[in-house]
Each structure stands twice: as C-alpha cells, then as structure tokens.
Structure 1
Amino acid sequence: MLRIFALLIVALIAVTPAALADATIYLVRHAEKASDGTRDPNLTDEGQARAAWIAEFLADKGVTKIYSTDYKRTRQTAAPAAEHAGVEISLYDPRALEAFAEQLKKETGVILVTGHSNTTPELVGHLVGEPLGELTEDQYDRIYIVTISAGGTASYRLTYSEPRTP
C-alpha cells in the first residue's frame, strides 16, 4: 500500500504544469542603448547592468538556447545569460517573425529571445495567437514568459526586470 501511495505521489509530481511544458520562452527587449547617432549602438552602463540582471534572473532556469537579432544591443543583452548558461547566441531575422514563431513552437527547453520594442511583443503575439501592443522607447523592463505545452497550447505571463521603467 505504501508503495502504491509513493508511486501516486511521483505520478502527480510528474504531471505539474512545468512538466507538461515543451518549451518555456523568455522574451525581452534589448536593454538600454547608447544614443550615439548610429543604427547599431552599444548598451549603456545601465543597459549592461540590466543584461547582467536578466542573466542572474535566468541563472537557475536551465537555459538551453538563446536567440538574438544581429544588433550589438540585442547581442550584448543576451551575452551575460549565454556566458552563464554556456550556450552560443543564435541569430534570427526580426523581419520574419511569423516563421521564427513557428520555429520556436517546435523547440523544447528553456529559451531566451532578445529583440526590440516593436518585435518582441509582436513575436509573443505570434506565439500565443493574441496581438500585443508595442513597447514605448523608454520601456526596457518587460519579460514575457511564454509557455508552450506538450499539446502545443501557448500562454504567456509578464514579469519585470530591475530597475523598473515606465
């Protein structure tokens, strides 16, 4: 009887929402960028601190894959998390978000995606089938967490990095 009870407990633990998820995708806009007049600026000191915060936030999540657009600010936002997780940053095309969303839906594991104020919410919308509005130019703290279940159902929740922005 005790053995049956133990097996039942193990079975219930195995069927938690996290266990049913094929993928958990953390999507962030790049951190604060310098205003240097170029199309491809570096992160500011504040942006580098936010990138380090994001890496620390993800440190115990088991990140298995990281995607970034091919801009310094997005790669620099992803770099601390990539270093901590020991994974390389793969590039994606922000002009092909629908196709990228379909690719992400087929992946498993814990994934970080760094993008932009207009592309990050749009990508979340493609993943969950619900349009989201763009971020404003001064919003850097949103972390969208998309969970895709084994059955393909996607949902998201929103959390925030520090320091908070408007």
Structure 2
Amino acid sequence: MRLIRSSIAGHLLRMLLLVALWSGVVWSAQAFAQEVTTVYLVRHAEKDGPGEDAGLTEPGKARARALAHVLADVKLSAIFVSSVQRTSLTAQPTREMTDPKLELLQRDTTKTAEEIQSTFKGKNVLVVGHSDSVGKIAEKLGADGIGTLPADAFDRLFVIHIDGEQVVLERLRYGAP
C-alpha cells in the first residue's frame, strides 16, 4: 500500500512539474511574440498613367485586393501611406478589412522608421511606399539589401521582424506577377 501511495505521489509530482514547465514555455512564447515588431512593406500597386498623383490601373486595384487577402488575418495597428493617392488606394482594401490607424509616410525615412520603432513597438504595421522609399525604410529599420525597386516591380512584399537588435527580413511576392 505504501509503495502504491509513493508511486502515485511521484506521478503527481512529475505531472505538476510538466505543467509548470509547459506554462513557462507558453508564457515565454507569448512574451516574445508581444515584443516583436512586424513591418509589412510594399510599393504601391500599378499606377494609372505618368501623373504625379495617378490612381491605380485595373491590375493595380486587383493587386490592392490581393494585399488585403494576404494580410486578412494580421491585426494591423497602423498603415503608413504617402500623400499621393496611389499609396492610399493600394492600402484601402486592407484598411477596410482591419480598420487600423492611418499614418502619413514622411519623406524623411529615418523619422518614419523611428516612429514605427517607438510608437508601434510590438505591433504589426503596413507601410505602402514608392520604388525609391521602400528600400530606404527597410534599411532604416535594420534590413539591408532591398535598394531601389525596378520600375515594373509591384508584387514585392517585404516582411521585417524586429526583436530588439535582431532583424529578420522575408522577401515574398503577392498578386499577379
């Protein structure tokens, strides 16, 4: 009888230890996930004409909807767009699905990167920029190697994960090639 009680007590103790360890792992994973800032960085979709404030072509509108589909399950805290309508039109379907705060993308990419890292630390942010600003913003966030995008490159989606000093860059594509 004493042997059975000792065995049961041993099993209970091991079970409690496993539960405690599992709880610690889950808590650590949650704490890690809350500290990582994730920036989804894209160039605006295909523009309709050469004008400075051109809208989107039909393929551009389809790409904007594709971006919303890709980010449908992401809880965005903010969307950064420039003052020209093609960036806000690219972001519009995503904004309608997630309803985040809309921020104006500053010409000074350093200020934009600083705002993302301070105001939106631990959050998810979408930045819709231009062929010459996407690489600069990524670089200011610590992700090198993007540079200026080619004139016909509208399908690039860069996902930047920032965890303190560690920065991970993912290069993806979305919508039609």
Give your verdict on TM over 0.5. yes
Q: In 2, distance between residues paired with 1:7 and 1:48?
A: 51
Instruction: In structure 2, give the amino acid aligned to 1:96.
Output: D
Count of residues in correspondence between the two structures = 161
Structure 1 equivalent of residue 18 of structure 2: 5
Question: Is the alpha carbon distance of 1:38 and 1:63 closer, same or farther for their aligned partners in structure 2, counting shifts above 3 Å?
Answer: same
Deviations 1:86-129 (A, max 9, x none): 22421121x20012111212223110000001101111011115
Query: Cα RMSD (Å) of the superposition?
Result: 1.8
Structure 1 equivalent of residue 63 of structure 2: 50
User: What's the TM-score, normalizing by structure 1?
Assistant: 0.88
Counterpart of 1:68 (choices 50, 69, 81) is: 81
Unaligned runs of 5+ in 2: 1-13
Question: Is the alpha carbon distance of 1:34 and 1:75 closer, same or farther for their aligned partners in structure 2, counting shifts above 3 Å?
Answer: same
Structure 1 equivalent of residue 124 of structure 2: 110
Question: Is the alpha carbon distance of 1:64 and 1:163 closer, same or farther for their aligned partners in structure 2, counting shifts above 3 Å?
Answer: same
Identical columns (%): 29
Unaligned runs of 5+ in 1: none
Question: Residue 9 of structure 1: CA displacement?
Answer: 2.1
**Retained in 1: the 8 A contact 2:42–2:134?**
yes
Counterpart of 2:162 (choices 139, 148, 159) is: 148
